[in-house]
Structure 1
Amino acid sequence: MLPDPSLDLAHYRVTFFFGPEPDAQHPERLSCVFNVKKRSWKGGVQVAVEINLEQLDRARRALGWSAWLDRVLTGVPDDEHEGYRARAEDLLAQALCACKLDLRLQAGLAQENQRIRAESWSRELDRAVVAHQAVIKSHILTELDLTEDSNLPADK
């Protein structure tokens, strides 16, 4: 998710697996799971990345989320807004988890299945969201098949 991967990140292949999923024991948390493989490893590992609702709210504020999403949905029929909004929320959570994973990868990652807790990398994630908001928004637009310029689905 970060636009300028370090040389260390180039050694990893990251594949989104699933999420965001709520945590049954901690309803204020969401998690996404990624498969991570480093070139030198014989096999990949699964990394669950947690974010909490507070981190998600801070990201929404930093991105001007509500106003931006309202603007990009102006060309979408009203009866489709709810579906687009729900998908956009999932994509935002996925993007935040991917950003947090990238931060962890830059610091190095052991070859074992693991969980990156919601409390970890919180300040760094806040800075990454601000620094890379254009990339995050562009990713979400692409996944929604929308363009910011035309406010219409990209295939129309």
Structure 2
Amino acid sequence: MRYRDLLPSILIGAVASARSMSPMAALAGAHLAGRRSPGRLVLLKQPLFTAGALMMGIGELFGDKMKTAPDRTVALGLLARIMSAGIAGAALALRGRERAGAAVAVATAVPLAYLTLAGRKRAMSRIGQIRSGLIEDAVIVSSAIAIVGWATRRR
């Protein structure tokens, strides 16, 4: 197995470090657009899961701007990142390499959650919570869409 084979999984783990639901929302959007993930993702065959992933992705973008939003490194935030990165990392890995894809995505998401939080806090002190969040949203959502688009193919 080559490093490049796991690159989409590593990159989606980086996305999950900043926005836990963006990887799943991007996969759900790709599924609705008729794209197929290289690894198996049985969950996307469930319309309720697809709709839920999209709604949670959108909800997270709004919730992040609230003053009461918890840090991404609290236990539940890390758990969400682990689950999302693992599922998305597996889906973006080559068939038969799903476990490796999940592992590298999680191994990327968790430590980067601390780094992206530190960066966000610096940005918040300079330009405020909403502006820094909108910039982070633009970078992370466009990255998630690009990574999933690159790693998936048309049916």
Provide TM-score, normalisation by structure 1.
Answer: 0.32
Greater helix percent: which structure? 2
Larger RCO (CA under 8 A, 6+ residues apart):
2
Larger radius of gyration: 1
